[in-house]
Structure 1
Amino acid sequence: MSEIRKYGQRQRLWVFVCLLALIIVGIYGCKETEPTPESLFLPELFAQKMEDTLRNRGVGYAFTIYEGTQLAAKGSGGFQSLAADPEGQKDFTTDTKLHIASMTKTLTAMAFLKAASQKGIKLGDVIAPYLPSSWKLGAGIEKVTFGDLLTHRSGIKGLNGTCQNGSYSENIYDGLRKLVALGVSSRGDYCYQNANFGLFRLLIPRILGYTFTGNEAMDDVQTQQRYLAFLQQEIFLKAGVQNAVASFPVNNPTYTYSFPVTAAQKGWNPGGFNAVLGGYGMYLSATEAGKIYASALSSGTNEVLSTTLADSLIIRNLGCYKATANLGTIVYHDGWWYESLQPAGRGLRTLWVKFPNNITCVLMVNALQYRGSSLVFPFNDGNILGFVYNAYVKALQARGARVSAEALPLFVEHPEPH
């Protein structure tokens, strides 16, 4: 009996040890562990590096990162409106719509390429036959081509005759008519002007068959509607975006602020832009914008643009820019909009950028910082493209990539805000 008791005791002890081991494994096995950089995908690290700067800084922001056409990471924070605003405090999310400003130019380039391919029109064709017949064509306009407009080399300099980007009044129907009547004298020289793309609000409907009536009020409204309808049908819907608008959603504006943002600060509502669509004006969320640019420009897809048209847009810099580093070529277009250049100036900054490994990022912020004599992106010395690029490089390094110092500098041909 003594041996039996000893055996039973050993058996009970063994069962107890096994149960204790299972409990310990259960406790620690279920405990969440912090992911290491090596366990994260590049888009996740990319998002993490941007959040490190953007989070808890008082700025309303949202970004999305697409790998191919799939959403791979996102982030948002801050507010689209504050307690001092009529709508009260609302969070800024990846579904918050913001005026994307000159990011619209890329959409206009996409729309032209699709309309032109349908109608057999080439980049080298001149625009004169597609302008209203009642308009006076100033000297040199007869030589301006579609490609000139899409690369800001038409020679249009604005009503003041300088290369300072034109105001809102130059981009409404009557303003565009006045610019065409003024003519051009430096076709072929780069001069960034919203009107280069604003003209496509008229040209795209005309290419598609609209006949100008000579009634400017009617032609203005008709071309606005037809331009937007073509974008809705051929760009937005094909990317899975159904409610893109040219103004903030009804009773739900996203305000802009001056950085640093304080709780007592009242925001500025940029308003609606139907009358100046083409060069700027669309309202999109970071999710929607990411879908559109990734669907149109990602390698191996033709959801929005055929491969041939997408390659043409990128290679020829149609509604976009390139920046180069030893890591490869980056394609992008930024945007900004602001109330004024006073110290209290309030505004926004936007960017889409496509990296060499089929990663597309969209970033939006609803605050600008006044520095010296201008308003700038609140971080990274005012450089939004450099900010996103630096986060991308840090993500590569965190993944263990050997990125040498020689690979880091980014050459940007046109670094001014667009």
Structure 2
Amino acid sequence: MKTFPISAASWLALIALLNACQPNAEVGKNGKTLDVAALADDIEARIKPDVMGYQIVVFADGSLRASRAGGNARQAADAPERKMGVGDKINVASVSKTVTAAALLHALNAKTISIDSPMWSYLPKHWPLHSSIKTITFRQLLAMRSGFPKNVLSDYGSLKAAMAVGATSSRLNFSYQNMNFALMRFLIPNVAGGYSMTPMPDNASVQKINEVEQKQAQEYTDAYMNYCQVNVFDKIGIAPNMACKPTDTNPALCYKWAAPNGKGTDWGDMSLTNGERGWNMSALQMATFMNALHNTYKILPKPVADAMRRDTLGYDNANILTNTGLKYIKKNGGYPASNNAGEVGAWLFGFENEVYVAVLVNSDPKPNTSVWTDVVAAFDEWYK
């Protein structure tokens, strides 16, 4: 996949856009005008002492209103040391699921396929399927109610094997399993059509099966990423080169709070395990995406986008109440420092008054702190 570096002119245009933000928006109670910059300031004040580096971007009433960034994108151990900016792209982990959900819903809507249709016929044709797979719907995948087993890896072989095992628990219960969204990198190209996959010959030998599946793994990944680029990212003009690996020179890295002088990580290339994770995005791109999805409706028609909010499709939580009585949706992504060389934390918030907040941090927070609760507490203080 070809990548395009951000030009100096593009950076100047970005800086001009951010500097020109009009912070006031009519998003208070009964249409009261509020200073969105004050919300961004409060969020920054709450999280700044607790992480290595951070990005905060706020859209309100359809427009970019405020952005903040601080701390280090790269520490001294990973020279060149430099500060964090709102355009620094980092692997946003499970926030990728919301992108994937939007892409799948776009493909289903374009083909007038019901979200409540069974999904099995859009899997690779030669995969062996347990009988329970044929009753799982697109909605159940999107809502994490498929009944799939826990801790299935997201590579081609693991997902294929899981389809032979089938659903192992009740679909009445919510169960957060990454494989629901990893499967969508196969479903989206097949629902959309127009993508060429290497066919599996009849009576193929084990060697031939392995050879074809290696090709298919790359082909499905490429097709999924192309569909997201054309039908999600290009719809809102955030970048022509979105990827599931670092593409910037000296990209922002992620660190452990308890080891401030240690080396960081950029998470590497997750293209072959994407769908449920992997997209490298900045907070500016995250917030632009969410505002376009739920305010401008450039990606999905309003009824479809509204169903995402109402039915918790591609989100962790929907219809949560703030202390001031407004509903909001949330998606969190992260790789914990306990299991990795560093930690990333990514959050999308969509409040009922058309305020959209994206926060991206490149370390685990200090003990007994929470970015989620800090953002909501800042919102409550601001909105009251």
Calculate the TM-score normalised by the size of structure 1: 0.76
Structure 2, unmatched stretches of 5+, are 1-27, 201-211
Counterpart mapping for 1:140-155 below 5 A: 140-155=132-147
Shift of 1:208: 1.4
- Matched to 2:92, the amino acid is I
Q: 82, 90, 109: which is aligned to 2:82? A: 90
Once the two structures are superposed, what CA deviation does each residue of 1:281-314 show, in whole Å capped at 9, x if it has no partner?
100111111111111112xx22222111111111
Structure 2 SS opposite 1:257? coil
Counterpart mapping for 1:8-407 below 5 A: 41-55=34-48, 57=50, 59-85=52-78, 87-158=79-150, 165-166=151-152, 170-188=153-171, 189-209=173-193, 210=195, 212=197, 213-214=199-200, 215-242=212-239, 243-260=241-258, 262=260, 264-298=261-295, 301-320=296-315, 321-322=317-318, 323-325=320-322, 327-338=325-336, 340-341=338-339, 346-368=342-364, 377-378=365-366, 381-396=368-383, 401=384
Maintained 8 Å contact 2:51/2:362: no
Maintained 8 Å contact 1:330/1:354: yes
Shift of 1:53: 2.4
Maintained 8 Å contact 1:256/1:267: yes
Q: Quick one: distance in 2 between partners of 1:125 and 1:111?
A: 17
Report the number of matched residues.
336
Q: Quick one: distance in 2 between partners of 1:109 and 1:185?
A: 23
Maintained 8 Å contact 2:256/2:337: no
Structure 2 SS opposite 1:241? coil
Q: Quick one: distance in 2 between partners of 1:115 and 1:183?
A: 25
Maintained 8 Å contact 1:112/1:200: yes
More displaced 10-residue stretch of structure 1: 99-108 or 381-390 = 381-390
- Matched to 1:191, the amino acid is S
Q: Quick one: distance in 2 between partners of 1:349 and 1:40?
A: 31
Q: Quick one: distance in 2 between partners of 1:360 and 1:218?
A: 39
RMSD: 2.1
Structure 1, unmatched stretches of 5+, are 1-37, 159-164, 369-376, 402-418
Structure 1 SS opposite 2:243? coil
Shift of 1:57: 4.9
Q: Classify 1:206/1:181 alpha carbon distance in 2 versus 1 (closer, same or farther; 3 Å).
A: same
Maintained 8 Å contact 2:47/2:374: no
Maintained 8 Å contact 1:56/1:77: no
Shift of 1:347: 0.7
Return the structure number with greater relative CO, CA threshold 8 A, min gap 6: 2
- Matched to 2:332, the amino acid is D
Q: Classify 1:328/1:219 alpha carbon distance in 2 versus 1 (closer, same or farther; 3 Å).
A: same
**Partner residue of 2:23?**
none
Q: Quick one: distance in 2 between partners of 1:329 and 1:56?
A: 28
Shift of 1:185: 2.8
Maintained 8 Å contact 1:240/1:291: no
Q: Classify 1:64/1:250 alpha carbon distance in 2 versus 1 (closer, same or farther; 3 Å).
A: closer
Once the two structures are superposed, what CA deviation does each residue of 1:137-157 show, in whole Å capped at 9, x if it has no partner?
124111111111101111112
Q: Quick one: distance in 2 between partners of 1:231 and 1:151?
A: 20
Q: Classify 1:132/1:187 alpha carbon distance in 2 versus 1 (closer, same or farther; 3 Å).
A: farther
